[in-house]
């Protein structure tokens, strides 16, 4: 296990190092698919320069990262390659999580089942961490995002740490990392629900709203979460000496003033809209992201890890400034659900569409911006298709997961009452 | 969503598609070709019309009077050119200054990666001269360009004369709202490239440009050239403007050197418009700029080349009339309030008065591309369904896929490395080839390219054998699935940027992708595969193009032309950044090699 992992790491680091040295790095760092106004390294550099001059980094509406990030780079960096190092380490962080995941999957095996086919053998599970690491480290999306020095890599690392600590069952660290992730980009707030579900499950606390023990645990977690969030926000205030960063970071994320095209759904919609509808639709779009938490948590009450995957996917599809780095994070989970492959229905169609869209993004961008012959509609059409494909992918996995659960309890080969073979239909 | 969620209907559809896969593919291919040929049929095309309001009517009064003087200036220019033995810079500066322009010169030098034997140049040094006519009452933010190349020999003197004549005449008019730049560029596109590189950085925007080519005192018709770098076309309104003024002034106008005909319902009329459209397709597919305007398009400047043609017909047009034509066009362009953006950017023209827009021609390509998707679906179903023999219907996908990764990855990597070699070696090995073989510079480059290309064909026999011993039935299916999807994406992207290139490649590569398996008879299939490979496609295109232009050539000359086309492609890439050569070398050729690999899968 260790040897292939080391090889993989060496390969991944070599690819990134080679790309850093090549002329492609600058090109990649400019791509709107890879960097967003929030995560662009160019803007971080600008923020650092302002900070060095003694001006607030948020003056001038360029820098939108959180204060902790800028201080992190302020102390750590001054080497051009540091981000690369950090990102490479981030990537490594994801790996150990999956060692844990293996344990979780073993637990899942205790299901009282008659259909052995559906249960993963320990041998299969043995390779899952390696596959996850491979999926993340060698995913072109991750590589692009890393070479562009997008701070998205750091956010991913924080979320990865959160998942790791949660699965390990460390309540305090889980809350701290979750608050750090929330502090970074608000949206991971929705991961609260799966974290709570998982931790209660682990501590054998029944999810029952009438039980005191449940509420006591929720209160504990909420206290730790809000407490560390409060500490971070205050720390940022004391570091900067002003509250400038609140509108500049969170206001920027929530009110979406920057309509630079990206792979998300916001820019075109809000660029076309009449100004007086803006607030209303802004609320609709933002609530949309948080809203899925409730139905998904109810449906996936028993399976918080899958819920985490679903939430990450929903966030990266619907967030206001998505980049390919966000997508890479939830794609890295796919090998974990390799036992669902037999129930997937549209995977061929979806992967074709995702592939084609990824190739078409730069082409249509070229036609629109450089050649001047196409227009924004072309690019947005591809964005739309890309997101529809992602939604199909996620819902396909969701369906496959539910169907597996169904088979686990009712047997793999369903029979109708009259004895003929039955099929499951999603309606 | 019914189709996506109802398993019964899905199964029915998929079984229909897999059962009838081959016939559907054949029908799609036919339909694609027929659709494409139908594009030239006049009732299926749209009539051109002016979309830009500011240029809507041709109600300007053109009064350019001094055609004779322009010709005299042209003769003077010719005399000076002969005396200096190149571009008479001093004379031009003096003449332009005398006409009241702000005159600038720009010297440039460029070393080609290897000597260009067609135009006999290697280290190019030259000067561009340009004069700016300042708009009397406007900020200096917008400009129009009129350019004429200064070429060696007796060519194009009249164009320079007319340009100077127009400069003088325009100077005395008061209605200019935009600066007009009169540019005389040396060494055709290289000079143009140098001029654009320097001048595009400097604020102000150029909204339209025309390049003028005139080589005789009296002409019979004007030809419009639209195809620019990488097959990019100017906004259709520019062509409309030209056509409208030709109609108004009564000048015979052509596109691709073909006159408009009215008998679209006769066979010869139809074949005429097919010919015109095919010429446009071939020119666009080549990715070369077909006139000096070609490089403007890259900078968002709508541009076209206007060529005066003297074909010894009865109908004569004098320089006065051409001057009036240009005057009219510039006055209309002068009225533009914003960039040309209303009309089409993606079109084909079967005649100057009719066009086919992207919505009409894309289905032809789509029908070809759908074949690839159908084949991919078929392969996917084959891969996903259990191999005959196991009854329980349970496939351990993990077990099945893992050993294949290596056998799929190896051909992919090796064929791309061959592509990289094809891209880099010709220029880098040129010196070595020259030392060892009795060939000229250009030949060295082209023959190296052909050698690398051919050497690539020998690779597949060894690639997977030395990795994983024996290719499995499953292995080639996976490889083919990857290759087919790769080709589909590649062709789709190409067709978006340059429809003609994408369509021609699809026409030849799609059948290859559809039929190749390791089980077809080796020798005939290998022959077909080679015939349909990108290099052979280019060879046929060369002959076909000559045929379309009605100057058929012998095989010997055709081969020489073929070699020069390849060298031109490489030069265009390194000089102007044409994308066709890297596209073929780095992507299309490796993709084709994958299919070659599948054929020899053992």
Q: Which parts of A138-265 fold into alpha helices (H)? A: 140-147, 152-168, 171-185, 192-202, 212-240, 245, 252-255
Fold of the B53-352 domain: Aminopeptidase (3.40.630)
**b/e for B114-128, b at 16 or more Cβ within 10 A?**
bbbeebebeebebbb
Contact (Cβ atoms closer than 8 angstroms) between residue A372 and residue A358: no
Q: Helix or strand or coil: residue B374?
A: helix
CB of A371 less than 8 A from some CB of B: yes
What 8-state DSSP symbol labels residue A247? I
Check residue A63 and give its pLDDT. 86
Q: Please give the pLDDT value at position A104.
A: 46
Q: Which of A124, A371, A425 is opposite residue B6, by nearest beta carbon?
A: A425
Query: What pLDDT tens digit does each residue of chain A (427 aa) get?
Result: 677 777 877 787 788 778 877 888 888 888 888 888 888 888 888 888 888 888 888 887 888 888 888 887 777 655 445 555 455 555 555 544 544 444 444 444 444 344 445 555 556 666 777 777 777 778 888 888 888 888 887 888 888 888 888 887 888 989 999 999 999 888 999 999 999 988 888 888 877 778 888 888 899 999 999 999 999 999 999 888 888 888 888 999 998 888 889 898 889 999 888 888 999 999 999 999 999 999 999 988 888 888 988 999 999 999 999 999 889 888 888 887 877 887 888 888 899 999 999 999 999 998 888 877 788 888 999 999 999 999 999 999 998 888 888 877 776 666 666 666 666 665 5
Q: How far is A124 from chain B (nearest CA, A)?
A: 8
Q: What DSSP string describes A63-113?
A: --S-HHHHHHHHHH-SSTTHHHHHHHHHHHHHHHHHHHHHHHHHHHTTS--
Tokens in use for B86? Answer: 């190149």
Query: Would you list the domain boundaries of chain B?
Result: 53-352, 405-600
Distance CA B100, CA B94 (A): 10
What integer pLDDT is reported at residue A86 of this predicted model?
Answer: 55
Amino acid A90: pLDDT: 55
Q: Which residue has the tokens 């041998």?
A: A123
Q: With a CB-CB cutoff of 8 Å, which residues 306-345 of chain A face chain B?
A: 338, 341-342, 345
Q: Which of A124, A348, A356 sits opposite B380 (nearest CB)?
A: A348
Mutation to test the B interface, candidates A348, A389, A422, most B Cβ within 10 Å: A348
Nearest-by-Cβ selection for B345 from A341, A346, A373:
A373
Q: How far is A320 from chain B (nearest CA, A)?
A: 27
Nearest CB partner across the interface for A423, out of B7, B346, B496: B7
- The helix (H) or strand (E) run that includes residue B171 is helix B157-171
Low-confidence ranges of chain B (pLDDT < 50): 1, 389-400
- Neighbouring C-alpha atoms within 13 Å toward the C-beta of A205: 17
Task: Give the C-alpha separation, A96 to A166, whole Å.
Answer: 13
User: Of the candidates B105, B130, B108, B133, which has an alpha carbon nearest to the alpha carbon of residue B184?
Assistant: B130
Contact B377 A424 (CB under 8 A): no
A239 and chain B: CB distance < 8 Å anywhere?
no
Each domain of chain A, given as residue ranges in start order, spans 1-338
* pLDDT in the model for residue B408: 79
A116 contacts in B (CB within 8 Å)?
none
Q: Are B293 and B235 in contact (CB under 8 A)?
A: no
Q: Which of B575, B574, B564 is nearest to B538 (CA)?
A: B564
Two structure tokens written together for A319: 């967030």
Residue A397's pLDDT is what?
92
Chain B residue numbers with beta carbons less than 8 Å from the beta carbon of A359 are 489-490, 492-493
Buried b (16+ CB within 10 A) or exposed e, B337-370: eebbeebbbbbbbbbbbbbbbeebbbebbbbbbb
**In which residue are the tokens 């399976």 written?**
A303
| Distance from the first to the final alpha carbon of chain A | 43
CB contact under 8 A, A359 and B496: no
Candidates B541, B487, B532, B493; CA nearest to B512 is B532
How far apart are alpha carbons A51 and A44 in whole angstroms? 10
- CA dihedral sign of residues B514, B517, B523, B527: positive
Residue B463 CB neighbours (<10 A):
20
pLDDT of residue B262: 81
């Amino acid at each position: 296990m260790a040897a292939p992992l080391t090889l993989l790491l060496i390969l991944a680091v070599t690819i990134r190092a080679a790309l850093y040295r090549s002329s492609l790095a600058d090109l990649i760092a400019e791509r709107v698919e890879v960097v967003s106004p929030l995560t662009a390294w160019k803007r971080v550099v600008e923020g650092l320069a302002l900070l060095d001059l003694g001006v607030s980094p948020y003056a001038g509406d360029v820098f939108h990262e959180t204060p902790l990030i800028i201080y992190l780079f302020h102390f750590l960096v001054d080497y051009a390659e540091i981000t690369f190092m950090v990102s490479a380490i981030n990537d490594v962080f994801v790996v150990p999580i999956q060692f844990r995941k293996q344990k979780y999957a073993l637990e899942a095996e205790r299901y009282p089942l008659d259909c052995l086919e559906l249960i993963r053998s320990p041998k299969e599970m043995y390779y899952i961490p390696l596959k996850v690491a491979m999926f993340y480290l060698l995913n072109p999306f991750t590589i692009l995002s890393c070479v562009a020095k997008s701070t998205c890599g750091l956010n991913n690392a924080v979320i990865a740490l959160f998942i790791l600590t949660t699965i390990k069952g460390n309540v305090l660290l889980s809350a701290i990392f979750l608050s750090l992730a929330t502090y970074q980009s608000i949206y991971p707030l929705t991961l609260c629900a799966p974290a709570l579900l998982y931790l209660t499950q682990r501590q054998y606390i029944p999810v029952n709203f009438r039980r005191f023990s449940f509420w006591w645990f929720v209160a504990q977690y909420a206290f730790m979460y809000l407490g560390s969030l409060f500490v971070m926000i205050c720390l940022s205030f004391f570091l900067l000496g002003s509250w400038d960063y609140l509108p500049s970071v969170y206001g920027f994320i929530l009110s979406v003033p920057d309509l630079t095209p990206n792979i998300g759904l916001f820019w075109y919609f809000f660029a076309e809209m009449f100004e007086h509808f803006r607030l209303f639709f802004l609320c609709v779009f933002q609530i949309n992201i948080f809203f899925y938490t409730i139905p998904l948590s109810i449906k996936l009450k028993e399976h918080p890890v899958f819920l985490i995957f679903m939430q990450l996917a929903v966030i990266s599809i619907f967030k206001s400034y998505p980049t390919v780095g966000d997508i890479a994070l939830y794609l890295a989970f796919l090998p974990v659900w390799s036992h669902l492959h037999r129930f997937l229905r549209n995977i061929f169609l979806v992967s074709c569409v995702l592939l084609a869209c990824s190739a078409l993004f730069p082409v249509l961008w070229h036609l629109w911006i450089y050649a001047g012959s196409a227009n924004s509609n072309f690019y947005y059409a591809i964005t739309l298709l890309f997101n529809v494909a992602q939604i199909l992918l996620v819902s396909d996995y969701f369906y496959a997961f539910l169907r597996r659960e169904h088979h686990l309890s009712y047997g793999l080969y369903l029979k109708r009452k009259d004895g003929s073979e039955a099929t499951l239909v999603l309606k | 969503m019914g189709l996506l969620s109802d398993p019964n209907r899905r199964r029915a559809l998929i079984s229909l598609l897999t059962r009838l896969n081959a016939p559907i593919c054949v029908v799609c291919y036919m339909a694609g070709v027929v659709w494409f040929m139908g594009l030239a049929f006049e009732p299926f095309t749209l009539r051109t019309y002016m979309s830009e309001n500011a240029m809507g009517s041709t109600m300007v009064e053109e009064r350019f009077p001094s055609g004779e003087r322009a010709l005299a200036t042209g003769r003077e220019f010719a005399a000076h050119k002969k005396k200096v033995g190149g571009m008479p810079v001093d004379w031009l500066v003096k003449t332009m200054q005398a006409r009241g322009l702000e005159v600038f010169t720009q010297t440039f030098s460029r070393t080609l990666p290897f000597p260009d034997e067609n135009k006999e140049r290697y280290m190019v040094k030259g000067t561009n001269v340009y004069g700016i006519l300042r708009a009397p009452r406007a900020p200096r933010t917008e400009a129009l360009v009129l350019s004429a190349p200064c070429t060696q020999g007796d060519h194009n003197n009249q164009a320079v004369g007319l340009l100077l004549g127009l400069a003088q005449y325009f100077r005395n008019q008061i209605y200019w709202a935009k600066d007009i730049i009169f540019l005389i560029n040396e060494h055709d596109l290289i000079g143009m490239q140098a001029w654009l590189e320097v001048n595009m950085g400097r604020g102000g925007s150029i909204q339209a440009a025309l390049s003028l080519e005139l080589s005789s005192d009296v002409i019979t018709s004007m030809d419009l050239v639209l195809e620019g770098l990488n097959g990019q076309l100017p906004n259709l309104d520019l062509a409309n403007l030209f056509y409208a003024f030709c109609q108004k002034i009564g000048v015979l106008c052509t596109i691709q050197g073909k006159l408009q005909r009215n008998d679209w319902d006769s066979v010869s009329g139809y074949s005429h418009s097919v010919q015109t459209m095919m010429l446009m397709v071939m020119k666009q597919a080549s990715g070369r700029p077909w006139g000096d305007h070609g490089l403007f398009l890259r900078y968002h400047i709508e541009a076209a080349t206007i060529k005066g043609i003297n074909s010894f017909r009865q109908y004569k047009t004098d320089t006065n009339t051409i001057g009036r034509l240009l005057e009219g066009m510039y006055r209309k362009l002068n009225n533009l309030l914003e960039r040309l953006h209303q009309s089409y950017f993606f079109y084909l023209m079967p005649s100057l008065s009719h066009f086919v827009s992207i919505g009409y021609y894309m289905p032809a390509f789509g029908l070809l591309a759908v074949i690839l998707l159908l084949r991919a679906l078929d392969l996917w179903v084959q891969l996903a369904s259990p191999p005959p023999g196991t009854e329980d219907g349970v496939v351990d996908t993990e077990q099945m896929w893992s050993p294949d990764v290596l056998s799929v990855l190896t051909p992919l990597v090796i064929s791309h490395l061959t592509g990289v070699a094809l891209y880099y070696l010709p220029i880098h090995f040129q010196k070595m080839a020259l030392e060892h073989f009795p060939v000229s510079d250009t030949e060295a480059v082209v023959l190296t390219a052909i050698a690398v290309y051919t050497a690539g064909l020998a690779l597949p026999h060894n690639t997977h054998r030395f990795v994983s011993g024996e290719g499995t039935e499953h292995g080639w299916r996976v490889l083919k699935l990857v290759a087919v999807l790769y080709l589909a994406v590649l062709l789709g992207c190409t067709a978006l940027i340059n429809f003609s290139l994408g369509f021609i490649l699809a026409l030849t590569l799609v059948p290859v992708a559809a039929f190749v398996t390791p089980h077809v008879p080796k020798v005939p299939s290998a022959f077909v595969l080679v015939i349909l490979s990108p290099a052979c496609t280019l060879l046929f295109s060369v002959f076909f193009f000559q045929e379309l232009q009605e100057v058929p050539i012998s095989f010997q000359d055709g081969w020489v032309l073929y070699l020069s086309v390849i060298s031109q492609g490489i030069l265009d890439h390194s000089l102007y950044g044409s994308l066709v050569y890297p596209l073929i070398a780095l992507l299309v050729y490796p993709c084709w090699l994958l299919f070659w690999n599948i054929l020899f899968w053992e």
